[in-house]
A = this chain, B = another copy of it.
């Protein structure tokens, strides 16, 4: 050996495996007990609580140099972390668009982490698990089996991945090599003004500039105005731009609106543009027995991005991208440097590398929970649960329509209900103020957790139902408490104004 010191291998061979496997096993059992109890009793506990000040000392502590031990680490988790999540597992959490997860899928994440295989490439079972799940989704969403796809960490990355392929495939030059600078014509793309922020972020990241993203007006149902879309494309062509992509919304984040997908596909065909669909939560409506027609035309897209941690209730984070033209997909990402030699034999052998279809080289086994849970439950059940949420949204709409002090603020396409307390005779300013206070009362008093949005400036309570634990009586409670609290707040505000 070259040198001898206190760290020579001969004198010290440490490992991260435990000394006492039995103690580790027992700790694992307790974690199972605790987390199942946590999930089983969700309904009886608060939706959300702010992180208490007494946790500050723990979260501000410097990095521990010496071991605190597994028991202490777990005790800190139970005391300072477990009681204070966002709350998206609760039966009356309807904020933003979040899924609930399932205990069995959480088990699968443990299996994946314990197996800890790197799913970037190589000859291994995890490759087939991911290929199988991708094939399932191609079939379920009407894409051909020849399409390609990838599991990613969420729809933001899925959108970025698809738009990168669209950009490179539609460019008339070798964009991978030459980049965007110096291109003859500027690339432009089109979507509705209801588009999700992840699309803007992707467009910016791709170097296209947010000005390249043309935001087309929507109709009264918040669907893209296809006449205006065509006008915008023609106008851009006439002034020297190169339109390359239309992005359709399959369930907008504000109201759940679905663009007219057949109309978008027709326009894309006419102008030879790439049609990408952002189906973050809406794409899976295709599985719903009585609502799948809402996403008709989805199967005509060139690419689609969707999440599995929303309406499929997989634990965070997992999304999926599908691309019709697998060659274009590979042509955007594939690279084979010296240290990733591929061969017919051995560990690196035989299989295509999944890292050739996306941004990550090392990749976690996030697909395992999808595979395990779909096998355990059957995909039909997920379709019924999506339908159940859509039906619950309809039920809520009916309650709102029946009540004179509540106002529905947007058509309900699927599972998102925007409404407000509005007893009549009040100014818009007052209504915005009342409903803003109302939202926080509902959240903080553990009634329910809607979020908010603005629709043309109007403050809306926004109930996005992607929740396998919600029951009919939860919506009865929401409506009753909204009216009760809205009335009280309106009185307070009126009194406040009199005092001024």
Q: Tell me how far the C-beta of A45 lies from the nearest C-beta in chain B, rounded to whole angstroms.
A: 13
Q: In the complex the two chains form, is A391's CB within 8 Å of B39's CB?
A: no
User: Per-residue CB proximity of A66-86 to B under 8 Å, as 1/0?
Assistant: 111110111011001111111
The answer, yes or no, to whether A271 is at the interface (CB within 8 Å) is no
Q: In the complex the two chains form, is A128's CB within 8 Å of B59's CB?
A: yes
Within 8 A of B (CB), among A5-43: 5, 7-10, 12-18, 21, 24-25, 27-29, 31-33, 35-36, 38-40
The answer, yes or no, to whether A303 is at the interface (CB within 8 Å) is no
Q: In the complex the two chains form, is B290's CB within 8 Å of A5's CB?
A: yes
Given contacts A359-B156, A384-B12, contact A201 B39 (CB under 8 A): no
Option from B51, B128, B310, B376 in Cβ contact (under 8 Å) with A125: B51
Option from B16, B76, B361, B443 in Cβ contact (under 8 Å) with A154: B361
The complex places the Cα of A366 from the Cα of B317 at a distance, in Å, of 9
Q: In the complex the two chains form, is B7's CB within 8 Å of A87's CB?
A: no
Closest to A33 in B: B25
Q: Tell me how far the C-beta of A230 lies from the nearest C-beta in chain B, rounded to whole angstroms.
A: 24
The answer, yes or no, to whether A427 is at the interface (CB within 8 Å) is no
Q: Tell me how far the C-beta of A274 lies from the nearest C-beta in chain B, rounded to whole angstroms.
A: 16
Q: In the complex the two chains form, is B253's CB within 8 Å of A339's CB?
A: yes
A-B contact pairs, 11 of them (CB 8 A): A1-B394, A17-B40, A28-B32, A70-B104, A81-B126, A82-B111, A87-B347, A100-B116, A117-B316, A157-B360, A181-B186
Q: In the complex the two chains form, is B197's CB within 8 Å of A337's CB?
A: yes
The answer, yes or no, to whether A482 is at the interface (CB within 8 Å) is no
Contacts A21-B40, A85-B124, A176-B209 aside, 4 further interface pairs with beta carbons under 8 A come to: A64-B374, A81-B125, A98-B118, A201-B359
User: Per-residue CB proximity of A104-123 to B under 8 Å, as 1/0?
Assistant: 11111111111111110011
Q: In the complex the two chains form, is A114's CB within 8 Å of B39's CB?
A: yes
The answer, yes or no, to whether A266 is at the interface (CB within 8 Å) is no
The answer, yes or no, to whether A102 is at the interface (CB within 8 Å) is yes
Given contacts A186-B181, A197-B335, A453-B338, contact A102 B67 (CB under 8 A): no
The complex places the Cα of A233 from the Cα of B81 at a distance, in Å, of 49
The complex places the Cα of A330 from the Cα of B167 at a distance, in Å, of 25
The answer, yes or no, to whether A493 is at the interface (CB within 8 Å) is no
Option from B9, B31, B385, B392 in Cβ contact (under 8 Å) with A111: B31
Option from B125, B340, B453 in Cβ contact (under 8 Å) with A197: B340
Given contacts A48-B347, A125-B81, A384-B14, contact A360 B317 (CB under 8 A): yes
Option from B28, B63, B347 in Cβ contact (under 8 Å) with A374: B63
The complex places the Cα of A383 from the Cα of B359 at a distance, in Å, of 29
Within 8 A of B (CB), among A361-396: 361-366, 368-369, 371-381, 384-385, 387-388, 391-392, 394-395
Option from B72, B98, B253, B313 in Cβ contact (under 8 Å) with A375: B72
Q: In the complex the two chains form, is B372's CB within 8 Å of A74's CB?
A: yes
The answer, yes or no, to whether A293 is at the interface (CB within 8 Å) is no
Give the number of chain A interface residues (Cβ < 8 Å). Answer: 198
Given contacts A8-B391, A153-B360, contact A380 B66 (CB under 8 A): yes
Most chain B CB within a 10 A radius of its CB, from A10, A106, A439 = A106
The complex places the Cα of A449 from the Cα of B313 at a distance, in Å, of 37
Q: Tell me how far the C-beta of A373 lies from the nearest C-beta in chain B, rounded to whole angstroms.
A: 8
Q: In the complex the two chains form, is B181's CB within 8 Å of A181's CB?
A: yes
Q: In the complex the two chains form, is B364's CB within 8 Å of A315's CB?
A: yes
Closest to A179 in B: B209
User: Which B residues are CB-close (under 8 A) to A392?
Assistant: 9
User: Which B residues are CB-close (under 8 A) to A365?
Assistant: 316
User: Which B residues are CB-close (under 8 A) to A409?
Assistant: none
The complex places the Cα of A383 from the Cα of B493 at a distance, in Å, of 60
User: Per-residue CB proximity of A433-463 to B under 8 Å, as 1/0?
Assistant: 0000001100110000101111100000010
The complex places the Cα of A155 from the Cα of B362 at a distance, in Å, of 8
Q: In the complex the two chains form, is A7's CB within 8 Å of B387's CB?
A: yes
Stretch at the interface among A217-225, A243-251, A320-328, A465-473: A465-473
The complex places the Cα of A110 from the Cα of B102 at a distance, in Å, of 11
Option from B63, B65, B110, B339 in Cβ contact (under 8 Å) with A96: B339
Q: In the complex the two chains form, is A77's CB within 8 Å of B111's CB?
A: yes
Q: Tell me how far the C-beta of A287 lies from the nearest C-beta in chain B, rounded to whole angstroms.
A: 10
Option from B24, B104, B338 in Cβ contact (under 8 Å) with A454: B338
